Amino acid sequence: MPVGESSGRTRPDACPGALQVHEAADGPLARVRLPGGAVSAAQLRVLAGCAAELGTGVIELTSRANVQVRGLRAPEVFAGRIAAAGLLPSPAHERVRNILASPLSGRGPDGLLDVLAMADALDRALCARPRLAELPGRFLFALDDGTRDVAGLGADVTYVATGRLLLAGADTGLTAAPDAAVPLMIDSAEAFLDELSPDGPRAWRIRDLPDGPARIATRLRDGEPSLTDAPDAANAPDAPEAPDAPPASAFARRPSPGRIAQRDGRVAIEALVPLGRLTSDQAAALADLGQPVRLTPWRTVVLPDLSPGEADPTERALAAAGLATDPDSPWAGVTACTGRPGCAKALADVRADARQWVRSLGRAPATPVHWAGCERRCGLPRGPVRQLIATINGYEERQE
């Protein structure tokens, strides 16, 4: 939907959470928010145990770097376990803790700031504002470390380490120093709630409001006269002037499994999770590595801060668990919706069909491929994608 186009939504957002589960075709589905995609080894072990003992044995990774557990037999027991693991700090805010962050968080060649620390601060500030529990469950924050990897994902409120504030993906011209970024993002969410009309169409996102970014930016300027439009206000080290919009490449980012050299001489490893589904055994194997894990919007996992000596055994352990670390893996760029039996609207078991198709490949497809169980095409990635859409007469291929 283009920025500024009213949605005309007529119902409240029903996005699932850990407490407000979704009744899917295969049973209750719970979604757990992981701000910044960060999860500790201990927390991952708890999630693995919950999936194995209470669900279908699978943890789904979402495009917001959160996780889902399907087919829950005891949702209340699940909620208690994740709360004890520190994954439910505010029951009132649990559905609105949607915070993306650049997975390498300043460690990569283009990174400028440790945005994971900012994600933690933003999460605490969000939970400390009772009114912000009213945000729709689809409202999204993003913190880009200067790499511009999450700046192009269309979050409602994005802070880029160059100092720029983006609203619904649009550059507002507003800038802030890093230490003022979190308060500015919180104020942006408050301004969104201020713009909602009790008598008008419902809005779940800033883009649902007519001229939403401009209206929010005006409120921010009026409420804080010290806000500046000057690009040098960021005071970030070596920060280039940001362009007016994210580069087109940001929309087409695809998983890039393998080793990544960090600026400090250490190594990060990105591993591809086939079709974005971790089995409980794979999640437990990740937890056994004893390393903090970063989940990404591209349904991969990143293990940062490894010494060069740790990289080889870590890569072998990931491969043994069935996670791909080869950039040419046939799984790279292949995605799928839930399909049958989890979705009642699906016309095919798209995941099984996608797996069979991938087994026929020798390397990654040149263009990303998305398998969809119906015309809704849930989970469709941004950018050029070859689409295989299930119909009553088989799959229809489409390119957009």
Task: Quote the CA–CA distance of 302 and 304 in Å, as a whole number.
Answer: 6
Name the percent of the chain lying above pLDDT 70: 89
pLDDT value, residue 229 = 63
pLDDT value, residue 6 = 42
Please give the full DSSP string across 7-76, using - where no structure is assigned: --B-S------SSS-EEETTEEEEEE--GGGEE-HHHHHHHHHHHHHHSSSEEEEPTTS-EEE-S-S-HH
pLDDT value, residue 243 = 34
Give Cα 151 to chain centroid, integer Å.
Answer: 12
Task: Quote the CA–CA distance of 45 and 57 in Å, as a whole number.
Answer: 13
At 382, the pLDDT band (50, 70, 90 cuts) reads: confident
pLDDT value, residue 381 = 87
**pLDDT reading at 210 higher than 60:** yes
Q: Could you read off the pLDDT of 296-320 as tens digits, one per residue?
A: 999 999 999 999 999 999 999 999 9
Burial of 397 (0-12, 13-18, 19+ CB in 10 A): exposed
Average pLDDT, the chain: 90
Average pLDDT over residues 321-328: 94
Which of 370, 361, 375, 300 is closest to 335 using CA atoms? Answer: 370
Beta-carbon contacts of 287 under 8 Å, excluding residues fewer than 6 positions away, are 41, 42, 44, 45, 48
Task: Quote the CA–CA distance of 248 and 146 in Å, as a whole number.
Answer: 15
Burial 378-395 (b: 16+ CB within 10 A, else e): bbbbebebbbbbbeeeeb
pLDDT value, residue 233 = 37
Name the percent of the chain lying above pLDDT 90: 83
Task: Quote the CA–CA distance of 132 and 120 in Å, as a whole number.
Answer: 16
pLDDT value, residue 2 = 36
Query: Which of 102 and 254 is assigned the larger pLDDT?
Result: 102
Average pLDDT over residues 284-292: 97
**pLDDT reading at 20 higher than 90:** yes
**pLDDT reading at 74 higher than 50:** yes
**pLDDT reading at 135 higher than 90:** yes
At what angle are helices 75-84 and 41-54 packed, to 10 degrees?
A: 170
| Statement: 334-399 belongs to CATH 3.30.413.10 | yes
Task: Quote the CA–CA distance of 330 and 269 in Å, as a whole number.
Answer: 18
Kindly list the domain boundaries of the chain, sorted by start residue: 334-399
Residue 294 φ then ψ, to 5°: -115, 120
Task: Quote the CA–CA distance of 138 and 96 in Å, as a whole number.
Answer: 7
pLDDT value, residue 13 = 77
**pLDDT reading at 241 higher than 60:** no
Query: Which of 8 and 333 is assigned the larger pLDDT?
Result: 333
Query: Are β-strands 67-69 and 27-32 bridged in parallel, bridged antiparallel, or unpaired?
Result: antiparallel
Torsion of CA 202, 204, 207, 210, to 10 degrees: 20
Query: Which of 222 and 145 is assigned the larger pLDDT?
Result: 145
Average pLDDT over residues 244-266: 69
Helix (H, G, I), strand (E, B) or coil at 139: coil
**pLDDT reading at 247 higher than 90:** no
At 32, the pLDDT band (50, 70, 90 cuts) reads: very high
Q: Is-contact 313 285, C-beta < 8 A?
A: no
Average pLDDT over residues 222-240: 52
pLDDT value, residue 248 = 38
pLDDT value, residue 62 = 95
Q: Is the peptide bond before 225 cis (omega within 30 degrees of 0)?
A: no
